[in-house]
Structures are given as structure tokens and as C-alpha cells.
A and B are shown apart, each in its own frame.
Chain A
Amino acid sequence: MKRLFALFPITIAGILGAFLLWGLNPDRDPNEIPSVLISQPVPEFDLPPVDGLDTHGLSNTDLVENDGSAPIVVNVFASWCVPCRAEHAVLTRMVRDEGIRLMGINYKDKPQDARKWLDDLGNPYERIGSDLDGRAGIEWGISGVPETFVIDGAGKVVFRFVGPVLGDEAISKMRTALDQARAAGGEAS
């Protein structure tokens, strides 16, 4: 019994140490809000096109009808968002080289600003929904812009990325999610 008591502090220290070690993990981001959307169908929303722009608007039905050969990426962006500008080039390249279908949600943006932004940088989006009051953003559970979602062939959300898709780490995470979406799409069809 006495020997058992002697082990007691060591056990406590061990548990505490393991907990602290877990906390020290540099890959752990305590600010990260786990998305409830992962493995869930895309939320319901229906957005009109950006006023004065030729690109069609976006609703959840556009994201469900997909054979899975080209995963859909939904990108929430705004002209007033500086990181979006940097991310734009990466997304454009992904559309060109990796065969993704890029859909945009233009978050709380003035139509004329959005048009000018797309004129300046180019428009890689297949469809863009204009979310003037941010209500669709809430349906997607976003906390800011930019945010990017990967949707598989069955219209389920596979991956959510908060912040600009920039740098090798972010891009490789995106690629993994895209492969996952392609695999899931293959099963569904």
C-alpha cells in the first residue's frame, strides 16, 4: 500500500507532463475553430451574382451537381481583404494546372469594388455569389476572409482552410484535401 502511494506523485507528474507536451506541440493551434461542416453536406444558401458582373450567382445546388472528376473549391473573398489578393494567384494557378472548379463567395463587398478587383487580377471563378449582408458566410460558419472549402463529388465538405492559401504547407494541405475529394467522388459515381 505504501509503495502504491509512492507511485502516486510520479503518476500525477506523468499525466501533467503529457498534457503540457501536448500543449507545446507547434502544430496545435488553440485559436483554430473546428468546423462543424466537415463530412457534412454543404449548407443551404442562394446568392445572386455580383451586380454588373457576367459570372453567375452561387447556391448550394451548384455545389452538389458534380461528378467528382474535378473537385469544387469554394473560396470566400473580398476586395477589401489584403491576404485575398495574395491568395488569388495561387487559386488561379490551381484552376489552370490542377483541374479544380473554383467557386467564389464575395463577402460583404461593394459590387463596383469587386468588379474592379476581378478586372485587375483576373477572374478564375466559375460562379460568384454576392454575400452583401454576410448571411451566407454565417451559414458556412466563417470567422473572417479569406476562407476556403473543398467539396467532394457528393456535395460534402471535405476540408476547410482559414486564412490565405499561401506557402508550401497550406498548398500541400489543399492538395491532400483535393485528392480526398477526388477519391470520394470516384466512389459516389
Chain B
Amino acid sequence: MIRRIAITAVTLATLVSQPAFAVEPDEILADPVLEERARAISKQVRCVVCQNQDIDSSNAGVARDLRLLVRERLVAGDSDQQVMDFLVARYGDYVLFNPPWKPSTYILWVAPIVILGLGGIATAAVLTQNARRYRKSRKQETERGASEERNPENHSLTEPHA
């Protein structure tokens, strides 16, 4: 009984607890609308130190600096796009988790569709070929069956031996 309570308590604690935030209290803007925009932008910007994290969740020093910078630009009246452009001008497209559509990224965006298409064509080709072969063999079988019925003496395997 005690054990069950303990397990339940631990499970509940895990479920209820929030992930630790990297955004520190002194960074948060007084204006909730701006703060919301800052959070949204930060989630799309890659941290240049720990490269698979966005700057919103990274504890790296540079990530904090960039979060502050994003908020500063927003307070100064920049649009979301202007803030993004500001960061891209300094760190390149590399900082964007959502790469832009441009000649150097065409392959990146188009490749999955092309590969899916090729796979679809290949699958369709194999399936139609199989279906055709199956129909053909069925036809041959019925023809053979019919001819065997006409000449039962040729049929040695299915007839019991005398």
C-alpha cells in the first residue's frame, strides 16, 4: 500500500513538474504581448553553441545574449521578420530552424517529394506487373486444368495409383 502511494506520488510529481526554463526572470519583458513574440522568435532560432537547441531553451551565454537582443529589438519596434533578418545578417541562415526557400535549399525542400514520387512510381510499377503476372498464371492454370480434364491419362500425379 505504502509502495503504491509512493509510486503514485512520484508519477504525479513527474507529470506535474514543468521543464526547467533557460529564460531567466530578469530577461522577461513587462509587456506580455512582446514577451510572447520574443518567446516565439527564440524558439525558431538555433543556438550557435549547443546547435540542436533553440535559444529559448539553451543555457549558453551566447543564447542568453541573443534572447536579450531579440527582446531589445522588439522593444525598439522591430517586426518579427526584422528581428529574424537582424540575426541572419550576423549568423547566416544557419541559425534558422526553418530554412528559407531559395536556390541553395531547393534540394532540401524538393528532395522528400521527389523521393516519395519515385517510390510511388516504383511501387505502382511493381504492383501492376505482379497483378498482370498473376492474372496470366491464373489464365494458364485454368487452360491447363481444362485440357487435363479432356485427357485424364496424362494426369498421373492427382490420380491414385492402381
Contact = CB atoms under 8 A, between A and B. Distances in A.
B62 A144 contact: yes
Contact of A36 (B90, B118, B122, B125): B90
A17 interface: no
B65 A33 contact: no
B104 to A, nearest CB: 11
B69 A138 contact: yes
Contact of B65 (A5, A34, A35, A135): A135
B125 A5 contact: yes
B61 interface: yes
Contacts of A111: none
For the residues of B in contact with A, the DSSP-based class is helix
A34 B94 contact: yes
Contacts of B88: 36
B49 interface: yes
Interface string A1-30: 000010010001000000000000000000
Contacts of A33: 48, 51, 91-92, 94
A161 to B, nearest CB: 15
For the residues of A in contact with B, the DSSP-based class is loop
B125 to A, nearest CB: 7
B66 interface: yes
Interface string B134-145: 000000000000
26 contacts: A5-B125, A8-B122, A12-B118, A33-B48, A33-B51, A33-B91, A33-B92, A34-B92, A34-B94, A35-B92, A36-B88, A36-B91, A36-B92, A43-B90, A133-B65, A134-B62, A134-B65, A137-B62, A137-B65, A139-B90, A141-B48, A141-B91, A141-B92, A143-B49, A143-B62, A144-B62
Interface of A: 5, 8, 12, 31, 33-36, 43, 108, 133-135, 137-144
